[in-house]
Structure 1
Amino acid sequence: MDLLQGHRHGPVELRLIRTRDARVLQQEMLSNRAWLQPWEATIPNGSSSFDMRLSIRRLLQQYRDGSGYPFVMEYDGEIAGQLNVWGVSRGSLCSATIGYWVSKRFAGKGITPAAVALATDAAFVEYGLHRMEICIRPENEASLRVVQKLGFRYEGLRRRYIHIDGDWRDHYAFALTREDVPRGVLSRWVNGQVPQDAASIPPSDRLSI
């Protein structure tokens, strides 16, 4: 997958983020504040101010270093959100994590599962990675539906794992390896071949929300 050209499934396109996306992304984040805040990563004792242009420059530096792959998600040519492949580890691990957000007005259009599938396929085929992980707060039902649709395998509960919305939050961990999807994540999903129970959370790990 050529990040500069992007990759598409129907009306959904995943492409490399650009510095000129800063204004639109900042506007989307501000207008979706109540929608996004419960799921936003925060820094303990850090400032609440945020500079989108600086954030994009840092993401692009990670891309140049090979430690991350920062995308925007588009729907019919309009920016709908961001997806980042971050925490890339090479060597004997060859693993990374996906994080994303989508604007409320684009929710329910199948953008996120398509984008996650495209990014995971690119990571396995183009970027030489072996494992992709997604960590989700138990309260985030929309994101849990994404891993259920794509058949990411449930791998366990991580207590107070990531600082989100001002505190350390529990997360469920899901992952896929290349061997899980020999024909690709997108193809498996589109062709209705996703294992039904891969993302099932055992009763012992279910938290009362």
Structure 2
Amino acid sequence: MTPLDVLLTDVRACTLCAEHLPHGPRPVLQCHSDAKILIVGQAPGRRVHASGIPFDDPSGERLRDWLGITPAVFYDPHQIALLPMGFCYPGTSKSGDLPPRPECAPAWRKKLLAHLPNLQLTLVIGQYAMAYHLPTVRGSVTEIVQGWRDHWPSVVPLPHPSPRNNLWLRRNPWFDEDIVPALRLRVAEVLGINASIF
């Protein structure tokens, strides 16, 4: 086993915040030292908790569309690392899923990122990912996404692809018009594949 394999075994056995997880711990992530793209989401939802597969839900379908890649590419750990800010489903509140547990990132994030020397692109999805990976950037999610060129080509801030964001996407057509085509080209460039522009 490689040192990363050992670390991933430890992560997947983690029970650090088990008492706060209404459905129990089930860390969901994807990671290999070959990965060229890092995707940072919030935390698994109920469906992903059940399947154990990252972004195995409508959010994942939309995200893959934004990136212009197939599920086969998305789920290839040699290409893409999937490390949400919280690895376990935190449960729900009246307004949606709870935030990622605060114990997770300090315990595991730096250790895992140290094993990803080949990253060329990091996609930060939503406010929790932005706060960690763009710590000096201030503003709302919309403002940070609007400033995407400030971080190009190594980091791209994105809104959450959840269906809950359908209204946001309708109100901000510039995202689909400007960012998505550029993102697809950048992903294709990093992965050495033909861009899917549609």
TM over 0.5, shorter chain? no
Higher relative contact order (CA 8 A, sep 6+): 2
Structure number having the greater strand percentage:
1
Which band: TM-score by shorter chain? 0.3 to 0.5
The structure whose residues are more often helix, as a share, is 2
TM-score normalized by the length of structure 2: 0.33
